[in-house]
């Protein structure tokens, strides 16, 4: 027997009573009924009063006790279920009042919701729409009271998850920088890397930082993209990262490079092991690199462009290049006619430059045999400056994952890049005077040459020790047109196109290589130079058996005397005929004196002056390049 305690029943002790002879049976064969009991029967005493209720609360993804969930995406419905029982008996409370209170992380009450009893699940239920509420941890408090004022409460928590990517749009690399790996389950892992041009240093591709809060704690998350234009991926999951761990609060962070694809808007989706799924969008934008950059005058330029509209799902054909503008003018139209539309033999317009299925720019050779080559053109400009090249394409399609139609066509697309033209003759002539000024400045640096070992000169200055590569000077002197103009006190004066170099004869290690008329060609440690014979002052020091020894300020030669005219003898040597003054053989001057400190300093200045010329040229390039 069950007795429902009335809501207005007084609190106290109660017993059930069965009075004597209160029970009678119903007989049909006898005329006398059985009755009983013989005397009153009282039940044990029981109390009517306040009894505790047990309230067990959980959150669910649906009104189903088997679909428990603690983390939810923003805007989703949070189902709150509570099992309410009497503490002592375990009997389910089926009537009364049950309410749910939801608090945010600061303790602020954001919702109060009445709950209703569901006999099918024998639980109390309510639902809460999280639309408009921020990511975070939320507390749920459920209070229950039956009709007899028995009360109880319980609580739990749930998360509104947050998924953030940065940046939300960017370029993609060429297909060579995208790797596809087929997994054992038939799905694909796509990993990409940023492309950096080795010549210009420009890059294509975007590193995306992906972070999330309040996913399922201590779980694993896979990052996927909803679509890529690769035929093998149709109907498969496309993973950008897999098994990214979450911490005790369900937070995680990782980075990916978005793979090669056509222009458009894509969903990036994060899903954990419990099925919690969040998504956000990333926009692929066109990108173009012109290389090399900077260039010296007219130059062959390679074009790399990605993220362009492409041929997709019979919605659109490839995007085709219309033309390329330079500084918003059509000056390139006649110089790069292969870029834009061409009139072919079938009297239809066609173009070489177009996009492929990955949204990458290619060049298609027209004619009987079609093949693709790398796009490029010649920059014809020599005037220094920055030139902005804008490629304009017509047609093609792009992806928009947020639109039910998914694929769209586009009328025109443009993408730009800038190239700097440097080292034109005009800029070089402006800087010539600065080379001389710098060389003059170096002459006051108190530089001392300690030694020259093969191609390395050790220089000591007021600020420290410098080691210079003498081999650099060789090519420099050759390029600058070095000419020996004077030798005095063991010091050679060499004039170049950009300044004067003074050097010790011993340090130069000169050797006469050839003589043509009055001009001698001399090899040194820093390159070949030319000089008049008068400058090196050839003198016949001795003649024996027709063989003359000729001393000069830089070298000693031997040869046969062919003629003597007054005090001048013509001597035929291995390097050519040389006219030399016949010395007073009784008082032949000695060899060149030992190099003094002043000579060493002069050598240093020669090295530094040449190095300064190199530095100035480098500064010139940097200045023009910006």
Between 360 and 385, residue with greater pLDDT: 360
Question: Which residue in this structure is represented by tokens 């020894």?
Answer: 549
Counting other chains too, the contacts that 61-64 makes at CB distance below 8 Å and 24 or more residues apart are: 61/275, 63/118, 63/121, 63/125, 63/127, 64/121
Going by pLDDT thresholds of 50, 70 and 90, the confidence category of residue 340 is low
- Among candidates 574, 554, 577, 445, which has minimal Cα distance to 508? 554
Between 204 and 297, residue with greater pLDDT: 204
**pLDDT at 262 (0 to 100):** 97
**pLDDT at 45 (0 to 100):** 77
**pLDDT at 554 (0 to 100):** 66
Between 398 and 460, residue with greater pLDDT: 398
Cβ atoms 225, 270 nearer than 8 A: no
pLDDT in tens, 540-570: 666 666 677 777 766 777 777 666 665 666 7
Asked: is 163-284 a CATH 2.60.40.10 domain? The reply is yes
Tokens of 447: 């530089």
Q: What average pLDDT does range 411-418 have in this prediction?
A: 93
For the cut 60, the answer to whether the pLDDT of residue 526 exceeds it is no
Cβ atoms 268, 280 nearer than 8 A: yes
Comparing 229-238, 317-326, 551-560, 578-587, the range with the smallest average pLDDT is 578-587
Q: What is the mean pLDDT of the chain?
A: 78
Cβ atoms 359, 309 nearer than 8 A: yes
For the cut 50, the answer to whether the pLDDT of residue 116 exceeds it is yes
Distance between CA atoms of residues 539 and 487, nearest Å: 15
Highest mean pLDDT among 13-17, 223-227, 514-518: 223-227
How far lies 137's CA from each of 54, 99, 103, 251, in Å? Answer: 24, 20, 9, 12
For the cut 90, the answer to whether the pLDDT of residue 221 exceeds it is yes
For the cut 50, the answer to whether the pLDDT of residue 323 exceeds it is yes
Distance between CA atoms of residues 580 and 552, nearest Å: 9
Cβ atoms 192, 179 nearer than 8 A: yes
Going by pLDDT thresholds of 50, 70 and 90, the confidence category of residue 349 is very low
**pLDDT at 186 (0 to 100):** 92
For the cut 70, the answer to whether the pLDDT of residue 78 exceeds it is yes
Between 190 and 322, residue with greater pLDDT: 190
For the cut 70, the answer to whether the pLDDT of residue 290 exceeds it is yes
For the cut 70, the answer to whether the pLDDT of residue 525 exceeds it is no
**pLDDT at 570 (0 to 100):** 75
- How far is CA 158 from its chain centroid? 37
Going by pLDDT thresholds of 50, 70 and 90, the confidence category of residue 322 is confident
**pLDDT at 276 (0 to 100):** 86
Q: What average pLDDT does range 602-617 have in this prediction?
A: 48
Q: Which 8-state DSSP code applies to residue 121? A: T
Distance between CA atoms of residues 476 and 479, nearest Å: 5
For the cut 60, the answer to whether the pLDDT of residue 473 exceeds it is no
Where b means 16+ CB within 10 Å and e means fewer, 468-493 reads bebeebbebbeebebbbeebeebbbb
Going by pLDDT thresholds of 50, 70 and 90, the confidence category of residue 577 is confident
Q: Domain ranges in the chain? A: 12-48, 53-160, 163-284, 287-422, 432-614
Going by pLDDT thresholds of 50, 70 and 90, the confidence category of residue 75 is confident
- How far is CA 583 from its chain centroid? 76
Asked if domains 53-160 and 163-284 share a fold, the reply is yes
- How far is CA 614 from its chain centroid? 34
Residues in the chain: 626
For the cut 70, the answer to whether the pLDDT of residue 210 exceeds it is yes
**pLDDT at 509 (0 to 100):** 61
Comparing 11-25, 83-97, 539-553, the range with the smallest average pLDDT is 539-553
Question: Which residue in this structure is represented by tokens 């390329």?
Answer: 324
**pLDDT at 406 (0 to 100):** 92
Q: Nearest-5° angle of CA 295, CA 297, CA 302?
A: 45
pLDDT in tens, 28-71: 665 667 777 888 888 887 767 667 899 999 999 999 999 998 88
Cβ atoms 343, 366 nearer than 8 A: no
Spatial CB neighbours of 620, under 8 Å, sequence gap ≥ 6:
423, 427, 428, 431
Q: What average pLDDT does range 469-476 have in this prediction?
A: 50
Cβ atoms 573, 550 nearer than 8 A: yes
- For residues 192, 194, 195, 199, the Cα torsion angle rounded to the nearest 10 degrees is -160
Q: What average pLDDT does range 373-392 have in this prediction?
A: 85
Q: State the DSSP string of 200-260.
A: T--EE--EEEEEEESSSTT-EEEEEES--S-GGGTTS-EEEEEEEEP-TTS-EEEEEEPPS
For the cut 80, the answer to whether the pLDDT of residue 236 exceeds it is yes
How far lies 549's CA from each of 516, 538, 556, 593, 607, in Å? Answer: 19, 10, 7, 19, 32
For the cut 60, the answer to whether the pLDDT of residue 592 exceeds it is no
Q: What average pLDDT does range 600-620 have in this prediction?
A: 47
pLDDT more than 90, % of the chain? 39
**pLDDT at 501 (0 to 100):** 56
Q: Computed over its alpha carbons, how large is the radius of gyration of the chain?
A: 48
- Among candidates 82, 163, 90, 157, which has minimal Cα distance to 123? 82
For the cut 90, the answer to whether the pLDDT of residue 585 exceeds it is no
For the cut 70, the answer to whether the pLDDT of residue 328 exceeds it is yes
Q: What average pLDDT does range 300-310 have in this prediction?
A: 94
Distance between CA atoms of residues 522 and 513, nearest Å: 5
Going by pLDDT thresholds of 50, 70 and 90, the confidence category of residue 505 is low
Backbone angles phi, psi at 310, to 5 degrees: -140, 180
Distance between CA atoms of residues 319 and 353, nearest Å: 9
Highest mean pLDDT among 28-32, 172-176, 328-332: 172-176
Is the pTM above the cut of 0.75?
A: no
Tokens of 82: 């509570």
The CATH class for the domain spanning 53-160 reads: mainly beta
Comparing 67-81, 231-245, 322-336, 431-445, the range with the smallest average pLDDT is 431-445
């Amino acid at each position: 027997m069950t007795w429902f305690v009335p809501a207005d029943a007084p609190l106290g002790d109660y017993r059930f009573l069965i009075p004597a002879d209160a029970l009678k049976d119903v007989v049909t064969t006898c005329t006398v009924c059985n009755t009983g009991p013989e005397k009153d029967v009282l039940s044990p005493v029981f109390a009517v009063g306040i009894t505790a209720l047990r309230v067990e609360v959980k959150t669910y993804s649906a009104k189903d006790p088997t679909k428990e969930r603690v983390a939810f995406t923003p805007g989703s419905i949070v189902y709150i279920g509570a099992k309410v029982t009497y503490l002592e008996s375990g009997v389910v409370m089926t009537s009364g009042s049950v309410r749910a209170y939801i608090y945010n992380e600061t303790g602020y009450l954001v919702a109060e919701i009445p709950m209703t009893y569901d006999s099918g699940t024998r639980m109390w239920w309510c639902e809460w729409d999280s639309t408009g509420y921020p990511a975070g941890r939320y507390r749920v408090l459920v209070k229950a009271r039956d009709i007899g004022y028995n009360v109880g409460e319980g609580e739990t928590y749930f998360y509104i998850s947050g998924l953030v990517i940065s940046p939300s749009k960017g370029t993609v690399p060429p297909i060579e920088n995208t790797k596809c790996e087929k997994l054992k389950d038939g799905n694909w892992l796509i990993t990409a890397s940023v492309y950096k041009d080795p010549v210009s240093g420009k890059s294509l591709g975007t590193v995306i930082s992906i972070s999330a809060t309040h996913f399922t704690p201590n779980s694993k998350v896979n990052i996927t993209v909803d679509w890529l234009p690769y035929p093998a991926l149709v109907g498969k999951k496309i993973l950008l990262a897999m098994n990214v761990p979450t911490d005790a609060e369900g937070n995680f962070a990782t980075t990916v490079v978005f793979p090669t694809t056509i222009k458009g808007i894509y969903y990036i989706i994060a899903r954990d092991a419990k099925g919690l799924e969040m998504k956000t969008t990333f926009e692929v934008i066109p990108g173009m690199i012109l290389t090399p950059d900077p260039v010296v005058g007219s130059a062959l330029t390679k074009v790399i462009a990605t993220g362009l509209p492409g041929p997709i799902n019979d919605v659109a054909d490839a995007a085709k290049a219309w033309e390329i503008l330079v500084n918003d003018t059509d000056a390139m139209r006649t110089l790069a006619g292969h870029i834009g539309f061409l009139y072919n033999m079938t009297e239809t317009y066609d173009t070489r430059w177009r996009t492929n299925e990955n949204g990458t720019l290619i060049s298609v050779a027209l004619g009987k045999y079609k093949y693709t080559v790398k796009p490029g053109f010649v920059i014809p400009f020599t005037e220094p400056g920055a030139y902005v090249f804008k490629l304009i394409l017509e047609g093609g399609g792009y992806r928009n994952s947020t639109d039910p139609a998914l694929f769209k066509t586009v009328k025109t697309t443009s993408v730009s890049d800038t190239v700097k033209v440097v080292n034109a003759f005009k800029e070089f002539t402006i800087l010539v005077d600065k080379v001389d000024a710098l060389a003059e400045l170096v002459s006051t640096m108190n530089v001392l040459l300690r030694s020259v070992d093969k191609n390395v000169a050790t220089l000591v200055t007021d600020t420290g020790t410098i080691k210079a590569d003498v081999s650099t000077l060789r090519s420099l002197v050759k390029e600058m047109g070095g000419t020996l103009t004077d030798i005095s006190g063991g010091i050679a004066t060499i004039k170049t196109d950009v300044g004067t170099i003074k050097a010790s004869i011993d340090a130069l290690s000169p050797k006469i290589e050839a003589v043509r008329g009055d001009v001698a060609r001399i090899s040194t440690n820093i390159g070949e130079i030319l000089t008049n014979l008068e400058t090196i002052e050839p003198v016949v020091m001795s003649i024996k058996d027709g063989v003359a020894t000729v001393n000069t300020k830089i070298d000693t030669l031997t040869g046969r005397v062919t003629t003597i005219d007054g005090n001048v003898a013509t001597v035929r040597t291995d390097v050519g005929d040389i006219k030399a003054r016949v010395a007073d053989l009784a008082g032949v001057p000695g060899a060149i004196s030992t190099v003094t400190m002043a000579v060493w300093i002069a050598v240093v200045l020669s090295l530094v002056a040449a190095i300064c010329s190199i530095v100035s040229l480098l500064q010139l390039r940097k200045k023009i390049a910006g």
